[in-house]
Amino acid sequence: MFDAIDKQLLKEVADLEAIPKGAYNIRKNGKLLGREVSANINIENNPEGNGIIIRVAPNTVNESVHIPVILSQAGLHDTVYNTFIIGEDSDVTIVAGCGIHCGGSKSEGHEGIHEFRLERGARMRYVEKHVALGEGTGKRILNPTTRVFMKQDSYAEMELTQLGGVDHARRVNEAEVGPGASLMITERVLTEKDQQAKSENELILSGEGSRANMVSRSVIKGDSRQDFYVNLIARAKCFGHIECDAIIMDNGVNETIPALKAQHPDAELTHEASIGKIASDQLMKLMSLGLDYDEAVNRIIQGFLK
């Protein structure tokens, strides 16, 4: 069964208008809806039967994997453990994400625990979007976890997005970055009404010459709350940077706690953090170009979360 709501959810989370090219695994309400493997990318159930293993063969380049999850069954709480093994010198894009449609009063939730093992020289772009739609009053809960293990000279770019609709989120990202490897994480979260989101991050720079850069952008509307924690831990000569900005609108609240921990004398760690309302000079500039107050606010938020 695949209906209009599913279509809309897939469009929102994975930008899909049709069956994707290349390998994919689409999960709906805890069950497999469709799967396709390619010559270089294999997808199989894990032995525990609670998730999938995606194996990208070494030297696979310019391929993508789509693994969206959609949920539209009241009362369902779905948990999956997915493992990604990204072979040596490969270069792939993984599009994940979860869309919840809630039509009733019962809560719905999804916990996706994604573990990535990047082999030597592997490059991965991981795009994860979380959305929740529907008129129902039930709580929509999304708790994603990523764990990234990066071998020598591997590269990972992760874009993690949650733009509205999710009532409760506990987002966890953990990474261990090996020698010469680089990790770039961008997390964008928008909350409104009385939604709550918490993001907990632990990034360990364990290899010589490793790099990590985490950018967090939060927009906190209505009476919502967002908290952001990151521990950036250096165990070798490395470079790490955290940039976290939160824009508070209405009555939102935010706690941002970036922590830098150098356990090696040659570590270079920096952070920038800010919490505040939309800057009035930005608003004035856009209004002086003819935008009304609300339009100006929208453009600033749009850019900020882009």
Partner 1 sequence: MIEIKDLRFIAPESDAEDRRRAIVDGIDFRFEAGKFYGITGPNGSGKTTLAKLIMGIVEPTSGTILMEGRDIGNLSVAERARAGISYSFQNAARFKGITFRDLLSIAAGTEDEDKLAAIIARVGICSMDFLDKPVDAKLSGGEIKKIELATTIARNPKVAIYDEPDTGIDLWTIGPMVDLLKREQREYGVTTLVVSHNRAFLEAADAIVLIRDGGIAYSGGFEGALPILTDLSVCGYGDICEGESDVRCYR
**Footprint on this chain of partner 1 (rule: CB under 8 A):** 217, 245, 279, 281-282, 284-293, 296, 299-300, 302-306
Q: How far is the CB of 129 from partner 1 (least distance, A)?
A: 17
Nearer to partner 1 among residue 111 and residue 245 (C-beta): 245
| Closer residue to partner 1 in complex, CB, 62/288 | 288
- Smallest gap from residue 133 Cβ to partner 1 (A): 25
For 169-180, b/e burial (b = at least 16 CB within 10 A) is bbbbbbbbbbbb
Judged by beta carbon, residue 34 or residue 303, the one nearer partner 1 is 303
Q: Closest distance between partner 1 and the C-beta of residue 274, in Å?
A: 10
b (16+ CB within 10 A) / e for 255-293: ebebebebeeeebebebeeebeebeeeebeebeeeebee
| Least distance from partner 1 to the Cβ atom of residue 163, Å | 14
Backbone angles phi, psi at 69, to 5 degrees: -125, 130
Residue closer to partner 1 by CB (options 186, 196) is 186
Neighbours of 192 (CB within 10 A): 18
Measured between alpha carbons, how far is 29 from 103 in angstroms, rounded to an integer?
A: 14
C-beta closer to partner 1: residue 31 or 306 = 306
CA 229 from chain centre, in angstroms, equals 15
Tokens 């194996």 locate to: 55
The distance of closest approach from Cβ of residue 283 to partner 1 in the complex, given in angstroms and rounded to an integer, is 8
